[in-house]
Amino acid sequence: MEITHIEHLGIAVKSIDACLPYYEGVLGLKCYNIEVVEDQKVKTAFFKVGQTKIELLEPTSEDSTIAKFIEKKGEGIHHIAFAVPSVQDALDEAASKGVQLIDKAPRGGAEGLNIAFLHPKSTCSVLTELCMEGDK
């Protein structure tokens, strides 16, 4: 697979508002985008750290996968996202190597990027997202 960089780290939080004082006030990062992704039932907040972003994920509904994650494991790092030139090619390659896929085809994620997830069963327990390279 041709990974160019870590696109973002996804961090599950109960409240984005409660986390802003830390990320902005202590770390000095600037939240440049807050966006609700309806089909994933999450509100997302983005910070840039060099080429990599931090994506805070706040559940907007109790049946959101993020709500379930927080219930089971508590707040914390939820997934790692790698940038690849083609999400479909990367998925096909992963599938051909026996990796269990959550998404068989890319779908739209936050920031208009094409994304797809690999199942943690096949990725040493880290939920792994592949997303298209983009400069947003």
Q: Which residues bind Zn ion (CB under 5 A)?
A: 10, 81, 129
Under 8 Å between Cβ of 34 and 111 = no
Nearer to Zn ion, 10 or 59 (CB): 10
Residue 37 vs 99, nearer CB to Zn ion: 37
Q: How far is the CB of 55 from Zn ion (least distance, A)?
A: 5
106 is written with which tokens?
């890319």
Supply the minimum distance, in Å, between the C-beta of residue 61 and Zn ion.
18
Strands (E), 38-73: 42-49, 52-59
Pick the closer one to Zn ion by CB: 25 or 109: 109
**Shortest distance, position 5 Cβ to Zn ion, whole Å:** 14
